[in-house]
Structure 1
Amino acid sequence: MSAKDYVEKDYYKVLGVPKDATTAEIKKTYRKLAREFHPDANKGDAKAEDRFKDISEAYDVLSDDKRRKEYDEARSLFGNGGYRAGGPQGGSFDFGDLFGNSPQGGGGVGDIFGGLFNRGGRQPQPRRGADVETEVTLAFEEAVDGATVPLRMTSQAACRSCSGTGAKAGTTPRVCPTCVGAGTVSRGQGAFALSEPCRDCKGRGMLVDDPCTVCHGSGRASSARTMQVRIPAGVQDGQRIRLKAKGAQGERGGQPGDLYVTVHVDTHPVFGRKADNLTVTVPITFPEAALGGTIEVPTLNGPSVKLKLPAGSANGLTMRARGKGATRTDGTRGDLLVTVEVVVPKHLEGDALEALEQYREATASDDPRAALFKAAEGA
């Protein structure tokens, strides 16, 4: 890549972030794109591999405050019309002259940005392991109180057969002659060059002539392992939990990736959930609703509680038992929301039927629908 191409390349557009994006926003976007286009997730897809390299190249510059500042200044001067092909007389313009190849000699303005372009010859850098995603299903009680569950994970790790070298047993890789083991090559024009991953060795710095039969020369292979993972109390259905450094192993001493666990929660035959509160529906009799009283209410994994039911309680009334809900992240608990449901008997006989008939006669003058008809007539 020439210096001209470099300053004209819009790294912000490559990552899809605005020019005033913060470092955290750039990192978040890069990680999302890197997972999507990573070669391990797109085996044999050349376009995805090229896209991954473009993303990595853009992140390499924009994630470094100093390099980003130099890049922005270079684009401001040379990439956005500060110097255009064709001078005032309509003659041709040699971009290379601007960067120090003029007949008069001297470094030109290229010396100002030399640190931005001359970054070749670095040793291969540690590579962070890929993030891994999995799912787990918890019982309702486990989600409320927290649980430790076994998770069987399959991720990429150093191939055990070749110890990560990628070479068949009894053979060794050789240094890549293109990048001389650096894993990066410098491409450019004149005195300026841009460092990018070596295409011949794909950034590894080594070439394998006799590849391992297990990993086929990649040095990476699928590895299965079972780990005990603590799911915190109060987790909700559909919640995504991040476990730092529990993902795939890194390369060349790089940090492991992260593990993301999406939690599914089974339903409960009695209790429901609203945020940090638990819910329960409790049936009551007509006399209890009319006269009031004390009712006993079950709780989740604990003793029952007694609540005072006010006289004249309507169907659907909700009361609160404080501290009997789900566990919050700070260790406190939400409430248990108790909704009463008046149970109407389907069959009455004997004294109960006679008593209810007497009640109906005694309250015949009280029409609960009178206000409804009055409001309807006035509408």
Structure 2
Amino acid sequence: MKQDYYEILGLSKGASAAEIKKAYRKKAIQYHPDKNPGDKEAEEKFKLAAEAYEVLSDPNKKARYDQYGHSAFEGGQGGFGGGGMNMDDIFSQFGDIFGSAFGGGFSGFGGGGGQRRMKGSNLRIRVKLTLEEVANGVEKKVKVRRKVKAEGVDYTTCPTCHGTGQVTKIVNSILGRMQTSAPCNHCGGTGQIIGNRPAGADAQGMKVSEETVSIKVPAGVADGMQLKVGGKGNDAPGNGIPGDLLVMIEEVEHETLKREGENLHYDLYISMPDAVLGGSKEIDTVSGKVRIKIEAGIQSGKILRLRGKGISSLNGYGAGDLLVHVNVWTPRTLSKEQKDFFERMRDDDHFSPKPEKSDKSFFEKVKDMFS
């Protein structure tokens, strides 16, 4: 079982953004590879702290984590928030957090002075899911057009910035000598320049390629939720790290079932004879059709609860319920014979309303439905 992100950083759940950043910096400096060379345990703690910070520092991800825990990110494959981080990801994303603690900031794995590794840009797509796919989970295969390094391209270290991607200048001012850093103009901040560019490659040695990507969608996702497939975004030039594929979930409305969180609602219309005599009816569920029993004398507005027939919990804590709302259909047109029958029954004692104390009012039913 994965360790709680707040526990990793030594925080309580209500921690502010400033407290989260401060706690992460403390942990990152404590377990930084430069301070703990060859210490695998420190390296793992360094990675865990970075993974926790990546989620808790993002308001949207933090809200999802607070609600669903680690299950909110189970659709991702690798990368942040989805099962493991690597040093290149950490340094490329959060190197500035370390400030001057390790020789003037981040310049690559292993401390200052090394070559910079850029991360490729992320790609974003929408994936439409039926209610059945949302309820049961599904694996989707999608075609993605992404930038990859062209075959045969090679890169050399930029002679201007020596692979750091930054150039430092010392300027004399009225306040004294000041040091400034800026992206290298020669390599565009990548730290590398193209030695050989194959035909069809762009100025960075990249070309567009179509690839089929498999996305594992866990049961219980919701409309608007975002999953991540690590490393399936655009490649970065040189020895950079690929970006990620961000997958936005779009839930297709079901014809007869309405979703409310983990519960589902179904409107069942029955005739007067069915309400009086009882019987059975076939209804839709996310796992197929089922037949339910209609008791004789059932009242319009009755709610039948089918436990566990709703949407699976994203946390893995079972599933919601299917609430069947019974509506007795009153015919609008009748034959003379039918009218005569109801005229005779108008004053019949069996047709007179006699609500019992156990028959809840509409407002009580609504209260029960949302409790």
Normalised to the residue count of structure 1, the TM-score between the two structures is 0.58
Q: How does 1:1-379 map to 2 (within 5 A)?
A: 22=21, 23=24, 24=53, 28=57, 60-61=95-96, 63-64=97-98, 67=99, 115-116=103-104, 122-160=113-151, 162-163=152-153, 165=155, 176-189=158-171, 193-208=179-194, 213-289=199-275, 291=276, 293-300=278-285, 301-302=287-288, 304-307=290-293, 309=295, 311=297, 313-314=299-300, 316-329=301-314, 330=316, 332-349=318-335, 352-362=338-348
Other structure's SS at 1:129 match: coil
Q: What is the Cα deviation at residue 288 of structure 1?
A: 4.5
The residue identity in structure 1 corresponding to 2:221 is: V
Matching residue of 1:50: none
Other structure's SS at 1:361 match: coil
Residues 278 and 298, structure 2, Cα contact 8 Å, conserved in 1: no
The residue identity in structure 1 corresponding to 2:243 is: G
Q: What is the Cα deviation at residue 336 of structure 1?
A: 1.0
Other structure's SS at 1:153 match: strand
Alpha-carbon distance in structure 2 between the residues aligned to 1:117 and 1:349: 88
Residues 311 and 319, structure 2, Cα contact 8 Å, conserved in 1: yes
The residue identity in structure 1 corresponding to 2:252 is: D
Alpha-carbon distance in structure 2 between the residues aligned to 1:193 and 1:118: 16
Alpha-carbon distance in structure 2 between the residues aligned to 1:118 and 1:256: 19
Alpha-carbon distance in structure 1 between the residues aligned to 2:246 and 2:92: 26
Alpha-carbon distance in structure 2 between the residues aligned to 1:140 and 1:130: 31
Normalised to the residue count of structure 2, the TM-score between the two structures is 0.59
Alpha-carbon distance in structure 1 between the residues aligned to 2:105 and 2:229: 37
Cα distance change on mapping 1:255 and 1:209 into 2, 3 Å: closer
Q: What is the Cα deviation at residue 257 of structure 1?
A: 2.5
Structure 1 residue runs of 5 or longer lacking an equivalent are 1-16, 33-55, 71-113, 166-172, 369-379
The residue identity in structure 1 corresponding to 2:312 is: T
- Over the matched positions of the two proteins, sequence identity in percent amounts to 25
The residue identity in structure 1 corresponding to 2:134 is: A
Alpha-carbon distance in structure 2 between the residues aligned to 1:270 and 1:199: 60
Other structure's SS at 2:346 match: helix
Cα distance change on mapping 1:130 and 1:19 into 2, 3 Å: same
Cα distance change on mapping 1:365 and 1:122 into 2, 3 Å: closer
Residues 121 and 244, structure 2, Cα contact 8 Å, conserved in 1: yes
Alpha-carbon distance in structure 1 between the residues aligned to 2:261 and 2:55: 32
The residue identity in structure 1 corresponding to 2:321 is: D
Q: What is the Cα deviation at residue 357 of structure 1?
A: 0.8
Aligned length: 271
Other structure's SS at 2:343 match: helix
Alpha-carbon distance in structure 2 between the residues aligned to 1:328 and 1:285: 35
Residues 127 and 250, structure 2, Cα contact 8 Å, conserved in 1: yes
The residue identity in structure 2 corresponding to 1:158 is: K
Alpha-carbon distance in structure 2 between the residues aligned to 1:312 and 1:118: 71
Residues 119 and 241, structure 2, Cα contact 8 Å, conserved in 1: yes
Cα distance change on mapping 1:240 and 1:18 into 2, 3 Å: closer
Q: What is the Cα deviation at residue 137 of structure 1?
A: 1.7
Other structure's SS at 1:142 match: helix
Other structure's SS at 1:313 match: coil
Q: What is the Cα deviation at residue 249 of structure 1?
A: 3.2
